[in-house]
Amino acid sequence: MHKPIRRFALLAVLLALSPLALMAQTAPVGGYELPPAALQAVVDAPRPPQLSISPHRDLLALTQTPALPGMDVVAQPELKLAGLRINPRTYAQSRFVFGSDLWLLDIASGKEIRLQGLPKPLAVASSQWSPDQRYLAFNQVDAKAGSNELWLVDVAARTARRLTALPLNTVAGTGYRWMPDSQQLLVQLRPEGQGAVPVSDGIPTGPNVQVTQAGAGVKAIRTYQDLLKNDDDARRFEHYMLTQAALIDLQGKVANIGAPSLTLSLAPSPDGHYLLRQRIERPFSYLVPVDSFPRRIEVLDLHGELVKQIAELPLIEGLPTGNDAVATGVREIEWRNDATASLVWAEAQDGGDPASKADIRDVVFMQAAPFNQSPVTLARLSMRYVGTYWGHGELALLSESWWKTRKIKQWRIAPDHPERAPQLIREASSEDRYKDPGEPVMVHDEHGQAHLLIAADGESIYRIGEGASPEGDRPFLHKVSLRDGQTTELFRSQAPYYEAPKAMLDKDGQSVLTARESPSEPTNYFVRSLGAQPAAAPRALTRFANPTPQLSGVNKQQIRYKRKDGVELTGTLYLPPHYDAKRDGPLPMLMWAYPAEFKSADAAGQVTDSPYRFNRISYWGPQAFLAMGYAVLDNFSVPIVGEGNKEPNDSYVPQLVASAEAAVDEVVRRGVADRNRIAVGGHSYGAFMTANLLAHTRLFKAGIARSGAYNRTLTPFGFQAEERNYWQAKDVYQSMSPFNYADQIKDALLMIHGEQDNNSGTFPIQSERMYAAVKGLGGTARLVLLPNEAHAYRARESVMQMLAETNRWLERYIGPGKVAGKH
């Protein structure tokens, strides 16, 4: 009688000792976890403030970034409508990181200026300097109180006050901007007397029907999240989008502008006499987000009266195939910054279809107030219009690009003389970082408009760039003559620092604000005087401390190696404090990456990053696990190259595998990693990479895949940089989908995903179905769905859980790391 019981008892013991059972014992099934204390310290490390330079370039506004919010904040009600995420209590975009402190810093003296009268608790969503620099406006959003307010800092008085008790509506933007005279702000308010939020009785009035007809042509519609589902959603969306435009003066007096509307954007002309409004209207769509809804583009006067309707654009449910496809009609419309009231916009001449043959793809038009004359042609382009840097009537820099070839061009034009032929000043590949001349330096005029900073000779501009080179990034400041292209180097970062120019503090390039760091020194801001001979040492403005001093001994190296096809690769190798390869031997390693597509092997092989950047240990990337004694190879190159007529993804898997093999071979050759104890991970497209590497190699004992997509048939109209749809490239979509090779995944895969992922293509069902496939095929996997989280995780509890899960996975499948201080 008792023998069967003993046999069952023995079986229970054996099952209890199985790997899956052991995992179940060590992995809680309910409640949030905390990772080891060393990882908690990384999460709770202080974060540096955000800086904003004043129009006169003599003051900085600093906004402190607070600690991560708790789940009690992140779990507040949130509406998901037409691609937007809305906090229904504040009539604002859902966001969970607000500035918790605000102060000023005088650049000349380096002294802090503390402000009186700030609201408590402070929750700064955004801030804007007035053009004359006498004021700083900011948006105070208190989610718990349900308030969304406009506040004003008087810079000279060093005081802050609420400007109006009327609540802002910031669902579709910041909700406020300065008028050019610095005496008023243009705001978007909740309409007074607005009715209650439409509530559904839950009883359907009929089916939800969608119809398409043959003959409409092939349209690529990406997979979007948070779309409208029915008319109840549409009515709620209209309620939260409805705003009343108004002008508020410095005493808080409010003057409404016209009637409330569903406004997407509202911008004053540089002279302050007109408003450019874009507003949406029905019919809405269940297939695309708000940016594709029908809209009217209008010029209004300051009373809200219509001056000119520029365009009436239809609903856009999909575009022609290709990343160079655009909608027809007016697009990229803006005020010309260097004129009183002139509009500039582009219109496609090829039907928006890159497959159509056309010598002229885009025409750029310009129309000046009072808008009663026909638009004039500013430029005729063979590629797509990108934008314009405005200088004055004789000088502007206009750019165009073409994704398919990665080609870019920049032209010098004279906007006051559109009859003059443009002058080509740059033609290059957007992938060629080594030859990137940098971005033009812009300054704000007395009306708050950004202009090119033009040197005293009237023919030279300034450019700030990353300075990519075979030695790593070396940021620079150049003076460039537009007459002959001659370049004068005013500053370039020098070892042992990484120092990036942020703003010029004068008109002659003699004084510049820089951000400097080194592997052991966090980013701080300095003032450099470039004209002194010999060169003077920079003057420190800030003295932010190392937020993770316990990891100050981390060793960082930029490594170079080759793929078997000859493509040069780069990675950033981090080794934990007190580690010595000869003494301690190879470590377990976590490798992390995000693949990128290229049309040129030479461009794919260019060096990225710098060996002189600060060892910033973030909870978000893999570096956090240095605290647990793991070696880390971050951002190891995974270039997917398709030269000539070849598409990169046609050979995605072989190139992916070759890149991973080369990285593993290199860290093993260096003696810092144990070939049998390496894990790989990534977020989003990096998660997709991770699952593919586990499906097609046995290089890794474990994978950590966060918020990824695994079945490309669920994103049939393109993904990442892939232009073709599923029906044009079935074999590519199939071969790239690790879901199709789930039976080949023999190593342990941890998947983490936000339950409310808002990213196009990475629906949570991607992880759910991938987990089900691995489970059904007898593989080893764990799926962790984080409540109330989007594509990036925001709550402290969620981030702690992510780190606890990852740490446990690494310890189980590649072993514990080297404990700091023990050899």
* Three-state SS sequence of 569-626: EEEEEEECCCCCHHHHCCEEEEEECCCEEECCHHHHCCCCCCCCCCCCCCCCCHHHHH
Q: Catalytic: which of 273, 392, 578, 791?
A: 791
What's the confidence (pLDDT) of residue 767? 98
What's the confidence (pLDDT) of residue 533? 65
Give the residue numbers spanning the domain of 806: 549-813
Q: What is the mean pLDDT of residues 613-634?
A: 96
Residue 589, domain member (yes or no) = yes
- Partner residues linked to 639 by β-bridges: 596
Residue 124, domain member (yes or no) = no
Q: Which amino acid is at 421?
A: A
Q: What is the mean pLDDT of residues 568-590?
A: 95
What's the confidence (pLDDT) of residue 24? 39
Q: Catalytic: which of 684, 707, 735, 798?
A: 684
Q: How far apart are CA 177 and CA 139, in angstroms?
A: 11
Q: Quick one: which of 463, 398, 411 has its CA closest to 436?
A: 463
Q: How far apart are CA 499 and CA 612, in angstroms?
A: 9
pLDDT beyond 70 at 270: yes
pLDDT beyond 60 at 629: yes
Give yes or no for a contact between 640 and 655, defined as CB atoms under 8 angstroms apart: yes
Total domains in the fold of the chain: 1
What's the confidence (pLDDT) of residue 219? 81
Q: What is the mean pLDDT of residues 317-339?
A: 96
The H-or-E segment that residue 747 falls in is none
Beta strand 135-142 with 124-129: parallel, antiparallel or unpaired? antiparallel
Q: Catalytic: which of 226, 350, 674, 757?
A: 757
pLDDT beyond 50 at 728: yes
Condensed to tens digits (0 to 9), the pLDDT of residues 92-142 reads 999 878 899 999 999 999 999 999 999 999 999 999 999 999 999 999 999
What's the confidence (pLDDT) of residue 6? 38
Place of tokens 């993770």: 548
What's the confidence (pLDDT) of residue 439? 97
Residue 194, domain member (yes or no) = no
Residue 772, domain member (yes or no) = yes
Residue 157, domain member (yes or no) = no
Residue 329, domain member (yes or no) = no
Q: How far apart are CA 110 and CA 541, in angstroms?
A: 5
- Give 823's pLDDT tier (boundaries 50, 70, 90): very low
For 21, the token pair is 């059972």
684 is catalytic: yes
Q: How far apart are CA 340 and CA 271, in angstroms?
A: 5
Q: What is the mean pLDDT of residues 596-612?
A: 94
State phi, psi for 277 to the nearest 5 degrees: -115, 140
Q: How far apart are CA 661 and CA 668, in angstroms?
A: 11
- Partner residues linked to 411 by β-bridges: 398, 424
pLDDT beyond 90 at 7: no
For 201, the token pair is 């009785």
What's the confidence (pLDDT) of residue 201? 79
For 209, the token pair is 């029907």
Condensed to tens digits (0 to 9), the pLDDT of residues 537-553 reads 899 999 999 999 999 99
pLDDT beyond 60 at 430: yes
Task: Give the count of alpha carbons within 13 A of 433, CB side only.
Answer: 20
pLDDT beyond 70 at 161: yes
CATH of the domain at 742: 3.40.50.1820
Least confident range from 10-19, 70-79, 294-303: namely 10-19
Q: Quick one: which of 450, 503, 449, 448 has its CA closest to 130?
A: 448
Condensed to tens digits (0 to 9), the pLDDT of residues 738-771 reads 999 999 999 999 999 999 999 999 999 999 999 9
What's the confidence (pLDDT) of residue 216? 62
600 is catalytic: no
- Give 467's pLDDT tier (boundaries 50, 70, 90): very high
pLDDT beyond 60 at 46: yes
DSSP 303-344: TS-EEEEEEEEPP---B-SSTT---SS-EEEEE-TTSSSEEE
Q: How far apart are CA 189 and CA 409, in angstroms?
A: 41
pLDDT over 70 percentage in the chain: 95
Residue 687, domain member (yes or no) = yes
DSSP 723-737: -S-TTT-HHHHHHH-
Q: Quick one: which of 125, 130, 174 has its CA closest to 154?
A: 130
- Give 531's pLDDT tier (boundaries 50, 70, 90): confident
**What DSSP character marks residue 537?**
P
Residue 48, domain member (yes or no) = no
Q: What is the mean pLDDT of residues 264-282?
A: 98
Q: What is the mean pLDDT of residues 411-438?
A: 96
pLDDT beyond 50 at 2: no
pLDDT beyond 90 at 804: yes
Condensed to tens digits (0 to 9), the pLDDT of residues 14-32 reads 333 344 343 433 455 579 9
Condensed to tens digits (0 to 9), the pLDDT of residues 453-464 reads 999 999 999 999
Runs of H (alpha helix) within 17-120: 19-26, 37-43, 71-74
Q: Which residue has the higher pLDDT, 711 or 13?
A: 711
Least confident range from 10-14, 410-414, 682-686: namely 10-14
Average pLDDT of the chain to the nearest whole number = 93
Q: How far apart are CA 794 and CA 792, in angstroms?
A: 6
- Give 217's pLDDT tier (boundaries 50, 70, 90): low
For 193, the token pair is 């007397």
Place of tokens 């007459």: 483
| Residue 191 burial (C-beta neighbours within 10 Å; 0-12, 13-18, 19+) | middle
pLDDT over 90 percentage in the chain: 89
Least confident range from 221-230, 254-263, 423-432: namely 221-230
| Residue 64 burial (C-beta neighbours within 10 Å; 0-12, 13-18, 19+) | middle
Burial call 568-603: b when 16+ CB within 10 Å, e when fewer: bbbbbbbbbbbbeeeebebbbbbbbbbbbbbbbbeb
